């Protein structure tokens, strides 16, 4: 039995690797671009690891992962799709290559890797798709990012129904702001007010809560009471949520 984690080189993905370390797996596949960081994580775990260096913004990078799964027929206990990134800025100001990479990593890679893994999963195994609280509301200045996460949210909902009766669970993990490199990388030169990043939680809290919710058979994991309230408001009072977001940008 193995675990597969994309975005394993830092932040939430690296924390998920630590959470899988106690699951008695034969191997954890660690996937991202930075081989040195993946090696470091691999050395820190007790479980044997396989480092797969792949740029998931490219079709070749995605194929590196899907081909490894299809050729080797591993018995997959956990699939955790965590690779992803965002970019602040108005839709037409974000460089087009960043926009298409965002769609590839956040959406195409997640879908392709999930579809490649499902035939090699059985009852009791789990798919964790790392989504975002931004999936619950269109976000001006993070438009494409929030749209990719709205896709992931929708994908999880329907996949869960498709997998009914197989014993394979699907957990959507939708954090608000988390203390990782993500925030710095997403700002990338834009002037974003500090107050946007209020109510930041730790990666440890996000992953501990996700693993707890997985055990309880929940469909969604949102870490922190402020973020749970935010998701609730976005779902039921979207115009208020939009006003709060727009005010925070000013
Ligand atoms: N931090 C937040 O505030 C926050 C909030 C909500 C949701 N999330 C979601 O959480 C997930 C993890 O983000 P994080 O917060 O842990 O940020 P992070 O520390 O920046 O981690 C992002 C991970 O994605 C990988 N990645 C990015 N681009 C890639 C590419 N082209 N090919 C392969 N791997 C790539 C990175 O690896 P390499 O750079 O080594 O390739 C890294 O391992 C993302 O899906 C993000 O959307 C984060």
Q: How far is the CA of 165 from the centre of ligand 1 (A)?
A: 32
Bridge partners (DSSP) of residue 160 are none
* Confidence (pLDDT) at 171: 98
- Domains in the chain (CATH in brackets) are 2-249 (3.40.50.720)
pLDDT in tens, 144-156: 999 999 999 999 9
Instruction: State the average pLDDT for the chain.
Output: 95
pLDDT score of 241 more than 90: no
Q: Which atom of ligand 1 is nearest to the CA of 106?
A: 45
* Confidence (pLDDT) at 42: 98
- Counting residues of the chain whose pLDDT is more than 70, the rounded percentage is 100
Retrieve residue 46's tokens.
């007790």
Which runs of consecutive H residues, i.e. helices, occur in the chain?
11-20, 35-44, 59-72, 96-103, 110-117, 143-162, 181-187, 203-215, 225-236, 238-249
- Which of 5, 12, 80, 88 has most ligand 1 atoms within 8 Å of its beta carbon, as the pocket-test mutant? 12
pLDDT in tens, 21-52: 999 999 999 999 999 999 999 999 999 999 99
The pLDDT of 176-201, averaged and rounded, is 87
Nearest residue by C-alpha to atom 26 in ligand 1:
83
pLDDT score of 124 more than 80: yes
Q: How far is the CA of 231 from the centre of ligand 1 (A)?
A: 21
Nearest residue by C-alpha to atom 36 in ligand 1:
7
Q: How far is the CA of 195 from the centre of ligand 1 (A)?
A: 22
The pLDDT of 154-165, averaged and rounded, is 97
Euclidean distance between CA atoms 144 and 89, whole angstroms: 10
């Amino acid at each position: 039995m193995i675990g597969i984690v994309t975005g394993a080189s830092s932040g939430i993905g690296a924390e998920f690797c630590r959470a899988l370390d106690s699951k008695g797996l034969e191997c954890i596949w660690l996937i991202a671009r930075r081989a040195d960081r993946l090696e470091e994580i691999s050395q820190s775990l007790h479980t044997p690891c396989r480092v797969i260096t792949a740029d998931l913004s490219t079709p070749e990078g995605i194929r590196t992962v899907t081909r490894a799964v299809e050729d080797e027929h591993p018995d997959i206990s956990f699939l955790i799709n965590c690779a992803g990134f965002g970019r602040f800025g108005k839709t037409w100001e974000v460089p087009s290559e960043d926009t298409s990479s965002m769609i590839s990593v956040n959406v195409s890679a997640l879908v392709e890797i999930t579809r490649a893994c499902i035939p090699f999963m059985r009852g009791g195994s789990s798919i964790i798709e790392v989504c975002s609280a931004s999936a619950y509301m269109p976000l001006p200045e993070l438009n494409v990012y929030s749209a990719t996460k709205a896709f992931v949210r929708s994908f999880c909902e329907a996949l869960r129904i498709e997998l009914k009766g197989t014993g394979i669970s699907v957990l959507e993990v939708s954090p608000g702001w988390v203390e990782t490199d993500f925030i710095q990388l997403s700002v990338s030169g834009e002037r974003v007010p500090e107050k946007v990043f209020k109510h930041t939680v730790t990666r440890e809290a996000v992953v501990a809560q996700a693993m707890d919710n997985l055990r309880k058979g929940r469909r969604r994991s949102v870490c922190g009471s402020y973020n749970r309230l935010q998701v609730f408001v976005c779902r039921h009072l979207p115009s208020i949520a939009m006003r709060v977001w727009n005010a925070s940008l000013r």
